[in-house]
A and B are shown apart, each in its own frame.
Chain A
């Protein structure tokens, strides 16, 4: 069975290495080769994962571990960076689902992006995403999960900025990357704290040797579980777009439709929920932590449900619908309904992928139908119209339309003070350097090096560049 396990992991890696290295060395393959090669590897991976499922069911085995070995080992210090892949009740459904959805959407993208200048770049990021996803789902150690987690983050940010000759997708890509980095930081801190507390990064050591979800937390006390669990909850919130990070999801829709479907509708958005499921024994060890999980999930679900109803474009509406469902899944996880959460996740992923792939042609079909019936299609009333009136309804409508001002609040509370502070430091440094050098101005740019007649300056695209809100996220 190990052989099959290796095929599941190696096929996407092979795609990434071949496409990535050829691109890096500036010898990209033709579109038809990329298409055939991607399809072949995804099909092989899918077949191998289904075969593993059949073998495990046949042998009535709940869990199968593929030990790749130590990536790094310092035996004297008991430090091991172990690469291990776990095929169990949680990971196998997710892996099969990933292969199916990625395969379908890969075929869709092959037609959707045919002849596009970024076709090759899309498939490099696409294969990086698949590798990251499989590493995250199959990870037997927290470090392996982190590895996959990071790959998913990078590929997502690059795909959001796919149409990179426009400013908006790029700005959105950067903002999503910033949110992901915050989530990554929380995850890294949690992973290393767990590694430090237990001496190992294996999930089997962290959550006991029993197959998922029957393990128990091996952390020393409930407060350790609470602290580590909170960090993991922040990481999950960042990745799954829970409050207060929900703002990145509609921004992510700047990417091409196939990537929106696969990343934000189906797979990437569930990664946070998957993380919570994987460490469910740690959640079980701390009641306050479970309360936090339920509250966060519930608040996200309510907020996203209301926001989705008032969005003016189909992709944003679908994005918030996804967040709403993920919020409910998180509530289920907090309540300990692990299997329900898993089934909910899979069902939701398939439904949302279909909706997102369907979205570009939906408007055209609506028009066709309206032309056929000779009038407008009947639409349901806004949810609050029957109970709220006048100014209050408008206020709520505006509040939800602006997505709860979540991004503005984050900018106001974190980005702006941060930029102001560091710009102040910069001014102080300049004054200090002027004092030391005895010059009136610090000469930042040597005129002989800045002049270049071949590169006309593009107009400054952002009017607020000199202000404090510039910098990190715009």
Chain B
């Protein structure tokens, strides 16, 4: 009976149903309650499916369209609960005056599109979803009467490259395939915000609501596109291009985060730096490197979403955060201060947090490929670590904050941050299951990669041989 129900169709369909229900509901509080229920049930379902390891059998959408639209494997399995969690905690922490301005229907629609995106490997369905995913954010920017030009220019270019690349990838001539590779690489770089295509992210964080911007960027659909459409087909030169640009972006964004005076820009650069590190690991394409990148994907998703929520909660109390002054908020919100530090340090791989082993695996594989890559990865995390502590000191210390109203966290905010804290510490203190699962996913992805690009087997097997020789075991 359980096997007959298309559970994996239900996960992304639930938020759509919620969005439909919210269409005729103008009351923000009621909309928030419905949204939380829907999002919570989606999270619970996605988590149970992943933990119970239930396979994706029959699919309604597949039967209707005649194509295999839902595909869940070791790689995408944990991404669904992760994305559902990101949405749930962000919505949960949307309280007070934030709830009045936030589009809950739009958030549910966006959640549905993202979950559909992360549960397919069908080329044209993926292309369609990635293009459609741009629309809710564009509407939000329009609704806020902000200029969406930068966002639109980049996303149009992304959609153009993606569609043309996907179309050309079905041709058989060598020039078409080469052009397809170039276009798909470009699409990944734009969507991931790699240097010099990162400005749309800054613009998004400047102009959209903080919550929506987090929800649009945190699921890292650019990296997913890379894994599904680029890694299986592209030659080594394309992977190296993505890798080099991602590494440059990571260091550049870390440096920029360190000198930022605007809180949102600081967060944007921080996220960009870490997301680029994930791409660096993905392009290293060795089992350890890929496992490190996939682990980092989860850790960055959890840690930086928590970090973003904390910043958003602070922003709700003191307005847009400026990092060129001291706020001295520690005495007003000590829990938030602790959580800010915890999530921030988890993102840079501090010991006993979820990012520690991910960073270790990634750095080790980077050093194995080239000491210079390893050094740049270490440099990036070092700069990020300093930037986070600087932000902590600026926001929570340095002066005595005078406030006429209590600023303690509300129960919903406290619950959201406690859940994230437990995941960060739990994943850090007992990392083996997570790492093993990501290693299996890495092996699965590499098998696909080697199957489709036999020419690329040689260097990796050589690397593996040299590693075995070096190892006394």
Contacts and interface: CB of A to CB of B under 8 A. Distances in A.
Contacts of B334: 23, 26
Interface string B342-372: 1001000011100011001101100110010
Interface in A135-153: 143, 146-147, 150-151
Q: Chain B interface residue count: which class?
A: 35 or more
B140 interface: no
Contacts of A193: 367, 371, 374
Nearest to A432: B199
Contacts of A182: 382
A472 B256 CA distance: 10
A393 interface: no
A170 B318 CA distance: 21
B319 A458 contact: no
Given A170-B393, A452-B317, A461-B326, A74 B259 contact: no
A21 to B, nearest CB: 9
Interface stretch (B16-24, B53-61, B146-154): B146-154
B456 interface: no
A433 interface: yes
Interface string B284-297: 00011001000000
B386 A429 contact: no
B206 interface: yes
Interface in A342-394: none
A448 to B, nearest CB: 8
A164 B287 contact: no
Interface string A407-427: 000000000001101110110
A189 B382 CA distance: 11
B6 interface: no
Nearest to A144: B351
Q: Chain A interface residue count: which class?
A: 35 or more
Contacts of B291: 74
Nearest to B464: A77
A164 B352 contact: no
A81 interface: yes
Contacts of B287: 74, 76-77
Nearest to A436: B150
Contacts of B265: 444
A429 B202 contact: yes
Nearest to A468: B259
B352 A422 contact: no
Given A200-B472, A472-B258, A79 B398 contact: no
Interface stretch (B71-79, B127-135, B177-185, B431-439): B431-439
Contacts of B472: 198-200, 205
A243 interface: no
B432 A147 contact: no
Interface stretch (B44-52, B226-234, B236-244, B402-410): B402-410
Contact of A422 (B258, B390, B396, B421): B258
B382 A199 contact: no
Contacts of B379: 185
Considering residues B260, B315, B386, which has the most beta carbons from chain A within 10 angstroms of its beta carbon? Answer: B386
Contacts of A425: 252, 255-256
Given A150-B350, A446-B207, A437 B147 contact: yes
B325 interface: yes
A23 B418 CA distance: 12
Given A77-B288, A165-B399, A185-B378, 14 more contacts: A71-B357, A77-B287, A164-B397, A177-B386, A181-B385, A198-B471, A433-B202, A433-B203, A438-B149, A442-B206, A450-B319, A458-B325, A471-B259, A472-B386
Task: State the 7 A-B residue pairs at the shortest beta-carbon distance, nearest first.
Answer: A199-B471, A164-B397, A452-B319, A147-B351, A185-B382, A471-B259, A450-B320
Interface of B: 144, 146-147, 149-150, 153, 199, 202-203, 206-207, 252, 255-256, 258-262, 265, 287-288, 291, 315, 317-320, 324-328, 330-331, 334-335, 338-339, 342, 345, 350-352, 356-357, 360-361, 363-364, 367-368, 371, 374-375, 378-379, 381-382, 385-387, 389-390, 393, 396-405, 414, 418, 421, 431-432, 435-436, 439, 467-468, 470-473
Interface of A: 23-26, 70-74, 76-79, 81, 117, 143, 146-147, 150-151, 154, 157, 161, 164-167, 170-171, 173-174, 177-178, 181-182, 184-185, 188-189, 192-193, 195-200, 205, 418-419, 421-423, 425-426, 429, 432-433, 436-439, 442-446, 449-452, 454-458, 460-462, 465, 470-472
23 contacts: A25-B418, A26-B334, A70-B432, A74-B287, A143-B360, A154-B345, A157-B389, A164-B398, A174-B389, A177-B389, A189-B375, A192-B360, A192-B363, A192-B374, A196-B470, A198-B472, A433-B203, A445-B206, A446-B207, A450-B320, A461-B325, A472-B258, A472-B390
